[in-house]
Copies of this chain bind each other. A is one copy, B any other.
């Protein structure tokens, strides 16, 4: 893909400050809001069942993260998703730790029927959601990569969502096309919430997409932008405390030239 096409989403987010409604986990609320502000979006953490249905239609997109799901939150998420769908607003599902834990796994499977625009998870989560049973912890071998890509394709075709499998390499597919991104840094896994906030960033980018046709490109753009920012931040600092600060700074300032010079992408043939 053209780097300029991807970066155009960054410009759109900065210019229009999309309102991103987040129902996320207790650990990452603050960092997620700061990441959204850094990329130029407007975070809104309206969480009560009494309010989500009123708020979701006002937002440009909804980001749902199951990291600390409990019963009250599951009801609020359900109401928010239904309201977003009713208003034609896209929503993103981050199925944290789905697979080993029954309560959230069952809920995530139910949510698939509510047509997320994008699903972003690691290999193990995506395999679980697609109906597979894998203990894959990453995409670190050819077999594991193939299993994750198969699962992502199945999930994308079954749900009509864009599916992103993130890890050392990130794969984004709409079931017909796959792109692989190879930016980032291991430090991104040493700061809590980087992955969760990435899902909210995807929501921001999908929230400025002109139509459903752009969701795949918007998702690639969000992940490419974030991982390039992470890679450059890791050049600023090799330790996690200062890396987290540098990551926010890079997200707020990464320009088109540095983005293009750093981006590593390739097309992947689907089986």
The 5 tightest CB contacts between A and B, nearest first, are: A241-B248, A48-B70, A33-B192, A239-B249, A241-B245
Can you list 20 residue pairs at the A/B interface with Cβ under 8 Å?
A26-B26, A26-B29, A26-B47, A33-B192, A37-B191, A37-B192, A38-B190, A38-B241, A47-B70, A48-B71, A50-B70, A50-B103, A51-B101, A54-B100, A55-B100, A55-B101, A190-B252, A237-B249, A239-B249, A241-B249
Q: Which bucket holds chain A's interface residue count?
A: 35 or more
Instruction: Beyond A27-B29, A34-B244, A241-B247, list 16 extra A-B contacts (CB 8 Å).
Output: A26-B45, A29-B30, A30-B192, A30-B193, A38-B190, A45-B67, A48-B69, A48-B70, A50-B70, A50-B71, A58-B100, A190-B252, A237-B249, A241-B248, A242-B248, A244-B248
List, in ascending order, chain B residues with CB within 8 A of A67's CB: 45
Which of A50, A69, A97, A190 neighbours the largest number of chain B CB atoms within 10 Å of its CB? A50
| Chain A positions near chain B (C-beta within 8 angstroms) | 25-31, 33-34, 37-38, 43-51, 54-55, 58, 67-72, 97, 100-104, 189-193, 237, 239-242, 244-249, 252-253
Cβ-defined contact, A45 with B33, below 8 A:
no
A252 touches B246 (CB 8 A): no
A51 touches B104 (CB 8 A): yes
Report the bound CA distance from A69 to B50 in whole Å.
Answer: 9
- Distance of A189 Cα from B253 Cα, bound (Å): 16
Q: Which residue of B lies closest to A190 (CB)?
A: B37
Looking at A43, A69, A248, the one whose CB has the most chain B CB atoms below 10 A away is A248
Chain B residues whose CB sits within 8 angstroms of the CB of A242 once the complex forms: 245-246, 248-249
> Which of B49, B103, B248 is within 8 Å of A48, CB to CB?
B103
Which chain B positions have C-beta within 8 A of A104? Answer: 51
Note all chain B residues with C-beta closer than 8 A to A190. Answer: 37-38, 252
Interchain nearest-CB distance for A159 vs B (Å): 24
Residue of B nearest to A106 (CB): B50
B51 & A103 in contact (Cβ 8 Å cutoff): yes
Residues B38 and A240 in contact, CB atoms below 8 Å apart: yes
With A29-B26, A37-B191, A49-B70 in contact, do A248 and B252 touch (Cβ < 8 Å)? no
Q: Using Cβ atoms and an 8 Å threshold, which residues of chain B touch A33?
A: 27, 192-193
- Chain B contacts of A37 at CB under 8 A? 189-192, 240
